[in-house]
Amino acid sequence: MDLQTLTYIVVGATFALYIGIAIWAKAGSTNEFYVAGGGVHPVANGMATAADWMSAASFLSMAGLIAFMGYDGAVYLMGWTGGYVLLALCLAPYLRKFGKFTVPDFIGDRYYSQTARTVAVICAIFVCFTYVAGQMRGVGVVFSRFLEVDVTTGVIIGMVVVFFYAVLGGMKGITYTQVAQYVVLITAYLVPAVFISIMLTGNVLPQIGFGSDLVSEPGTSVLNKLDGLMSELGFSQYTDGSKSTVDVFFITAALMVGTAGLPHVIVRFFTVPKVADARISAGWALVFIALLYTTAPAVAAFARLNMIDTINGPDGQGTLYAERPQWIKNWEQTGLIGFSGTDEKVSAGGDAGQQLANDGVMFYSGDERNNMKIDRDIMVLANPEIANLPNWVIALVAAGGIAAALSTSAGLLLVISTSVSHDLLKRNLMPNITDRQELTYARIAAAVAICIAGYLGINPPGFVAQVVAFAFGLAASSFFPAIIMGIFSKRMNKEGAIAGMIVGITFTAGYILAYKGVFFEPLIANTPENWLFGISPEGIGTLGMVLNFVVAFLVSRVTQESPQEVQDLVESIRFPKGSGAATHH
């Protein structure tokens, strides 16, 4: 069966499964819409959390980043994994005990202030939209390659599917859909990795294959081979880092703390029956996440090795453009692979008769001449094709990429709709609406959010890639200190929390805008010598978080103490009296 038909069947079957689950798990109340009625099994919730957590960035981009950046790409691995551990241990059980559905709800109640709630809602919506635009774009890229439609059509198909199960099923539909999506995405990630590990090193486990010797060159390990190739081709060695230690620390910390403050993952811990179950499901989620994260460096190294081999030929002298491998022809059509030569540019999808510089020989190197331009986001998707794996594996990877992007999109869209219907309307502007009206508003908000997210996916503002750092930095510098101090400090009051959040966000946003520019040219050249203390814009959220903590602490010391009932509440979250099941307020 040809690849096109097979892909339609595999992707179509997964869509039918997701929509079937959404119809089966239709939400009938706000409790089911927001937190799936609080009755999800901890293992199922662990799978759903892992799917929610591992977005298109984890599935598509992370191995691609590591493949191209080598050692420097490890900051994403450390930051995202560490962030999950921080969230699971320091935040999730306490927030679950507090019994509020959303982060703005927690901040509004803990700091007894509608202003604090509103600031948190604005942050939540901004972080989620920033994040979801990238997810929708990921859906578009996968569809454009495997269904041979343009990116716009791909995004619209993705919107329709998400619309169906997010608006209909709410958290209940999303949770069980995410369990299915986790199974699809992890199978799609591991199957090609195992195949290629066996082909290159003879090891079944990619994690072990990554450090093993090559079958074709006994005595030469995968990483040594890559280091040698990279040096010959004019790149820095794969296992060397170019970033300063300070910057690596700040980026890792910003990703960690930003991730721990991401609202769509925190909500997951309210979908289980008891506080103890929140801890258990956090542990299971870590196991499920580790399966992908420990495999990513191996996938990156194998893909990079195979890619250089197939482009530069067995003798390392290059391949005739006219005889280029099939995977290059396939990806050229999407515009994600191109060439630049000394004489002329051969455009993506250009006429094969056009001469590449140097007699039509294509070559991949660190030299600007005769260089192939490869989009790093395609590495995981192209990996099975580069390695000549069977068509069913390629179709499976396509379904996995779509599952990763859709599962996170749904979680983010739910946070946006909950922030609008529950935190802005029910808890702020329209306190007298009924449960049914609130559910209707939640569905309308989700539908509007999907349309906006789709628009951002079709017309990605030039700064979407840049603002991913902004999303993490913003979550790190706004939510995290307010949540941590809300749980662990009885002294922290509303004035301190509001001042800290505003200072943290303003500083982080200002710094990133100054170096990155969004609607204008950057004000300062984005080079290490111009950075404050050598910290790049990707890592500045860590400094924003420190400022938030300091300002909040100082302001809370010169203003009135929190009311006694709030102090008692904080005490009761940390030191449970009796062991009854947690209830929703």
Q: Quick one: 151 and 122 in the same domain?
A: yes
Residue 174 lies inside a defined structural domain of this protein = yes
Note the pLDDT of residue 520: 63
> Is pLDDT at 255 greater than 60 in this prediction?
yes
Q: Is the pLDDT of residue 552 over 80?
A: yes
Say whether pLDDT at 548 is over 90.
Answer: yes
Residue 383 has pLDDT above 70, yes or no: yes
Q: What is the pLDDT of residue 549?
A: 94
Give the model's confidence band at 547: pLDDT under 50 very low, under 70 low, under 90 confident, else very high.
very high
User: 258, 289, 254, 271: which is closest to 95 by C-alpha?
Assistant: 271
Domain boundary among 434, 460, 486: 460
In terms of domains, do 292 and 325 share one? no
H or E segment at 372? strand 371-374
| Contact partners, residue 266, CB within 8 Å, separation at least 6 | 87, 91, 92, 95, 103
- pLDDT score recorded for residue 234: 64
| Helices of type H across 217-261 | 222-232, 245-260
Overall domain count for the chain: 2
**Per-residue pLDDT for 497 more than 60?**
yes
In a domain, 477, yes or no: no
End-of-domain residue from the set 443, 460, 477: 460
**Per-residue model confidence (pLDDT) at position 236:** 66
Give the pLDDT of residue 347.
38
Highest mean pLDDT among 44-48, 347-351, 431-435: 44-48
Residue holding tokens 């940390």?
Answer: 574
Please give the pLDDT value at position 349.
37
Instruction: Please tell me whether residues 197 and 338 are part of one structural domain.
Output: no
pLDDT at 545: 93
Q: How far apart are CA 525 and CA 522, in angstroms?
A: 7
> What share of the chain has pLDDT > 90, as a percent?
3
Considering the domain architecture, whether residues 357 and 449 belong to the same structural domain is answered as no
**R_g (Cα) of the chain, nearest Å:** 24
Residue 487 lies in a domain: no
Nearest CA-CA partner of 80 in 293, 301, 300 = 293
Whether 291 and 195 map to the same domain: the answer is yes
In a domain, 49, yes or no: yes
Is the CB of residue 312 less than 8 Å from the CB of residue 319? yes
* Residue that has been written with the tokens 């939209």 in this structure: 129
The pair of structure tokens assigned to 120 is 């948190």
CA distance 346 to 355: 8
Condensed to tens digits (0 to 9), the pLDDT of residues 44-64 reads 888 888 887 777 767 777 777
- The pLDDT of residue 358 is 42
User: Tokens 């984890």 belong to which residue?
Assistant: 58
Residues 235, 289, single domain; the answer is: yes
Taking only the tens place, the pLDDT of each residue in 226-235 is 777 777 666 6
* 198 shares its domain with 261: yes
Determine, yes or no, domain membership for 580: no
Question: Which range has the top average pLDDT, 8-17, 190-199, 574-583?
Answer: 190-199
DSSP code of 574? H
In this structure, of 322-336, 428-442, 474-488, the range with the lowest mean pLDDT score is: 322-336
The per-residue pLDDT for 376 is 72
Of 380, 410, 426, the one marking the end of a domain is 380
pLDDT per residue over 81-130, tens digit each? 788 788 777 777 777 777 766 778 888 888 888 888 888 888 888 778 77
Give domain status of residue 583, yes or no. no
Residues 62 and 137 in one domain: yes
285 shares a domain with 407:
yes
Q: In degrees rounded to 5, what are phi and psi of residue 359?
A: 60, 40
Of residues 81 and 167, more confidence is placed in: 81
Mean pLDDT of 343-372: 49
Work out the pLDDT band at 343, boundaries 50, 70, 90. Answer: very low
Task: Compute the mean pLDDT over every residue in the chain, rounded to the nearest whole number.
Answer: 77
Q: State the Cα–Cα distance between residues 442 and 508, nearest whole angstrom.
A: 31
Q: Which phi and psi (to 5°) does residue 489 adopt?
A: -130, 115
Question: pLDDT at position 353, please?
Answer: 34
pLDDT at position 555, please?
92
**Mean pLDDT along residues 200-209:** 83
Q: Is the pLDDT of residue 352 over 50?
A: no
> Quick one: pLDDT band at residue 460, thresholds 50, 70, 90?
low
Range in 24-38, 40-54, 137-151, 189-203 the model is least confident about:
24-38
| 540 falls within a domain | no
Residues 87 and 35 in one domain: yes
Range(s) of the domain holding residue 352: 318-380
Least confident of 161-170, 297-306, 310-319: 161-170
How large is the average pLDDT for residues 442-466?
75
Q: Are residues 163 and 282 in the same domain?
A: yes
Per DSSP, 213 falls in state: B
Higher pLDDT, 357 or 476: 476
Q: Are residues 205 and 269 in the same domain?
A: yes
Residue 516 lies in a domain: no
CA distance 184 to 7: 14
Spatial neighbors of 491 by CB under 8 A, at least 6 apart, are 556, 557, 561, 562
Which residue would you say has higher pLDDT here, 582 or 144?
A: 144
Q: Which of 491, 415, 423 is nearest to 453 (CA)?
A: 415
